[in-house]
């Protein structure tokens, strides 16, 4: 197993075009099942989670091939109705195949999905949504069997779940009748999913707001989509500049998708400028960040739970105490163990992490235990004094494409061996 060697304390300088968003391409890949014609996906990130989705598509009978950074999916030959347990466990987003699979085949058999260990991650909202759309859902001995042609219906989500909203959209597009989703998630990735489905001939409106409506009964054709820039990778990069100092321009991301993160970094003393398709951030490495206040994670447009860990790593060396209140997942402070190894002063009470800024962190041997927690340890290591050896790269590779290349391009000393 390789590890990352990171030499900290080097300011980051330069420009980087951010990769396509993992959380956008995964539902798009599941949505490819809804058409019998080829779909070309450009700006597709090379990630192990994308490989896992491609594995599932192959298993179901679709063909997938890379043309440079474009992934071409042709699901004409899809004929399988069940997904292996191993494939389901490879990532959380494997559950996203359930809705389009039952819509396409009239039957889908899956097991519970895997993914980052962030506490219990139920799928009840996914299953209730599919049931509302007219599918018969049975659960027995860890297996989920979903049967019948979806008719459409009105789904009321008690909580705006991202994945359940996407699954409901994908199933609703394949349904015979119309679907309304009330209290839908409003993330930019949902807006992109709507754009993608409409480009294939679907009739979906309302994404980005709380009510999404879908006219069912349309046969989808092939098409092209360019995956939107990854706002969480962008947030990680900006947090790294806030931690190590320097001046970086991140291209390929819409600043409005990052506004809560940018506001916090600006309050902390970073200079931020936003363009149409880019964000520029500068931090004077001799002036520490200003901490203070309480950051509470929330569904979009609130502060993203996925940015909590990398941003916390930057505030570990801020002046003052910053509180991070996690409301989305019950075990999302896994990175705190590694940050403490590096000298951070953080205590956890219930769902809040109290980060008392220390003058500096030092290098250490630390292990990533989940994807964004891994991003946080890399951010901390880039700002720390001395060498960090970062383990658990299999988590990082799920969502950060060639992390060492990205930071290396900006002058960081980060080597995978």
User: Does residue number 210 form part of the binding site for ligand UD1 (CB under 6 A)?
Assistant: no
Active-site entry in 32, 44, 64, 116: 116
Shortest distance, position 236 Cβ to ligand UD1, whole Å? 13
Contacts of 124 (CB under 8 A, 6+ apart): none
Shortest distance, position 132 Cβ to ligand UD1, whole Å? 13
User: Does residue number 164 form part of the binding site for ligand UD1 (CB under 6 A)?
Assistant: yes
Q: For ligand UD1, what does the binding mask look like between residues 36 and 65, x meaning CB under 6 A?
A: ------------------------------
User: Does residue number 26 form part of the binding site for ligand UD1 (CB under 6 A)?
Assistant: yes
- Tell me the C-alpha distance between 254 and 237, whole Å: 14
Q: How many C-beta atoms lie closer than 10 Å to residue 144's C-beta?
A: 21
Q: Which is nearer to ligand UD1, 45 or 163 (CB)?
A: 163
Determine which residue in the list 123, 144, 318, 377 makes contact with ligand UD1, applying CB under 6 A: 123
DSSP 357: -
Stretch that binds ligand UD1, among 121-129, 205-213, 280-288, 311-319 (CB under 6 A): 121-129
Near ligand UD1 in 183-202, by CB under 6 A? 185
Shortest distance, position 47 Cβ to ligand UD1, whole Å? 11
- Tell me the C-alpha distance between 22 and 406, whole Å: 16
Query: Cα separations (Å) of 226 from 56, 64, 381, 404?
Result: 21, 16, 33, 24
Residue 116 annotated in active site: yes
Q: Which is nearer to ligand UD1, 30 or 316 (CB)?
A: 30
SS3 55: helix
Determine which residue in the list 329, 333, 400, 407 makes contact with ligand UD1, applying CB under 6 A: 329
User: Does residue number 351 form part of the binding site for ligand UD1 (CB under 6 A)?
Assistant: no
The H or E element containing residue 132 is helix 124-132
User: Does residue number 125 form part of the binding site for ligand UD1 (CB under 6 A)?
Assistant: yes
Determine which residue in the list 23, 35, 87, 111 makes contact with ligand UD1, applying CB under 6 A: 23
User: Does residue number 266 form part of the binding site for ligand UD1 (CB under 6 A)?
Assistant: no
Using CB under 6 A as the binding criterion, the count of chain residues that bind ligand UD1 stands at: 20
Q: Which is nearer to ligand UD1, 92 or 395 (CB)?
A: 92
DSSP 411: T
Quote the distance between the C-alpha of residue 110 and its chain's center: 22
* Phi–psi pair at 146, nearest 5 degrees: -125, 125
User: Does residue number 277 form part of the binding site for ligand UD1 (CB under 6 A)?
Assistant: no
Stretch that binds ligand UD1, among 74-82, 162-170, 288-296, 347-355 (CB under 6 A): 162-170
Q: Give all strands of the β-sheet with 39-42 in edge-to-edge order.
A: 63-67, 70-74, 39-42, 223-226
Determine which residue in the list 124, 139, 277, 284 makes contact with ligand UD1, applying CB under 6 A: 124
At 188, list the tokens.
């930019």
User: Does residue number 121 form part of the binding site for ligand UD1 (CB under 6 A)?
Assistant: yes
Stretch that binds ligand UD1, among 76-84, 118-126, 140-148, 173-181 (CB under 6 A): 118-126
Q: Which of 275, 273, 257 is nearest to 265 (CA)?
A: 273
The H or E element containing residue 51 is helix 48-60
Near ligand UD1 in 71-100, by CB under 6 A? 92-93
- Tell me the C-alpha distance between 250 and 237, whole Å: 8
Q: Are strands 321-325 and 294-296 parallel, antiparallel or unpaired?
A: parallel
Determine which residue in the list 39, 41, 73, 162 makes contact with ligand UD1, applying CB under 6 A: 162
User: Does residue number 156 form part of the binding site for ligand UD1 (CB under 6 A)?
Assistant: no
Q: For ligand UD1, what does the binding mask look like between residues 279 and 318, x meaning CB under 6 A?
A: --------------------------xx------------
At 47, list the tokens.
């990630």
Task: Find the Cα–Cα–Cα–Cα dihedral 289, 291, 297, 299, rounded to 10°.
Answer: -60
- Tell me the C-alpha distance between 246 and 285, whole Å: 7
User: Does residue number 388 form part of the binding site for ligand UD1 (CB under 6 A)?
Assistant: no
Determine which residue in the list 66, 156, 159, 210 makes contact with ligand UD1, applying CB under 6 A: 159
User: Does residue number 157 form part of the binding site for ligand UD1 (CB under 6 A)?
Assistant: no
User: Which single residue brings its beta carbon nearest to ligand UD1?
Assistant: 163
DSSP class per residue in 144-185: EEEES----EEEE-SS--HHHHHHHHHHHHTSSS-EEEES--
At 339, list the tokens.
């940050």
Asked if 177 and 160 count as a contact pair (C-beta separation under 8 A), the reply is no
List of residues contacting ligand UD1 (CB under 6 A)? 23, 26, 92-93, 121-126, 159, 161-164, 185, 305-306, 328-329
Catalytic positions, written as ranges? 116
């Amino acid at each position: 197993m390789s590890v990352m060697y990171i030499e900290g304390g080097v300011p980051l300088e330069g420009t980087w075009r951010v990769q396509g968003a993992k959380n956008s391409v995964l539902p798009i890949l599941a949505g490819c099942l809804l058409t019998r014609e080829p779909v070309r996906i450009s700006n597709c990130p090379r990630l192990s989670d994308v490989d896992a989705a491609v594995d599932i598509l192959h298993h179901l009978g679709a063909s997938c091939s890379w043309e440079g950074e474009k992934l071409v999916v042709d699901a004409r030959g899809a004929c399988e109705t069940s997904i292996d347990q191993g494939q389901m466990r490879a990532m959380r987003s494997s559950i996203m195949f359930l809705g389009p699979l039952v819509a396409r085949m009239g039957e889908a058999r899956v097991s519970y999905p895997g993914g980052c260990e962030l506490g219990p991650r139920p799928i009840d909202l996914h299953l209730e949504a599919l049931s509302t759309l007219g599918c018969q859902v049975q659960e027995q001995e860890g297996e989920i069997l979903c049967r019948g042609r979806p008719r459409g219906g009105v789904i009321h989500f008690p909580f705006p779940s991202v994945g359940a909203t996407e699954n409901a959209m994908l199933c609703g597009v394949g349904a015979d009748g119309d679907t309304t989703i009330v209290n839908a998630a409003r993330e930019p990735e949902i807006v992109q999913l709507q754009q993608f489905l409409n480009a294939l001939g679907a009739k979906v409106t309302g994404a980005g707001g709380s009510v999404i409506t879908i006219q069912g009964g349309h046969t989808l054709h092939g098409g092209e989509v360019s995956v939107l820039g990854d706002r969480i990778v962008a947030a990680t990069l900006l947090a790294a500049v806030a931690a190590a100092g320097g001046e970086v321009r991140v291209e390929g991301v819409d600043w409005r998708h990052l506004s809560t993160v940018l506001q916090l970094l600006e309050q902390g003393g970073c200079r931020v400028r936003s363009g149409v398709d880019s964000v520029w951030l500068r931090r004077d490495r001799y002036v520490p960040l200003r901490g203070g206040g309480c950051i509470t994670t929330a569904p979009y447009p609130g502060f993203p739970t996925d940015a909590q860990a990398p941003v916390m790593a930057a505030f570990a060396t801020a002046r003052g105490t910053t509180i991070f209140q996690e409301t989305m997942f019950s075990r999302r402070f896994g990175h705190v163990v590694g940050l403490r190894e590096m000298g951070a002063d953080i205590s956890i009470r219930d769902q809040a992490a109290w980060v008392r800024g220390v003058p500096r962190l030092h290098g250490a041997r630390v292990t990533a235990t989940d994807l964004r927690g891994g991003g946080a340890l890399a951010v901390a290591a880039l700002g720390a004094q001395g060498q960090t050896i970062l383990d658990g790269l299999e988590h990082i590779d799920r969502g950060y494409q060639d992390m060492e290349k990205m930071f290396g391009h900006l002058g960081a000393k980060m080597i995978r061996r």
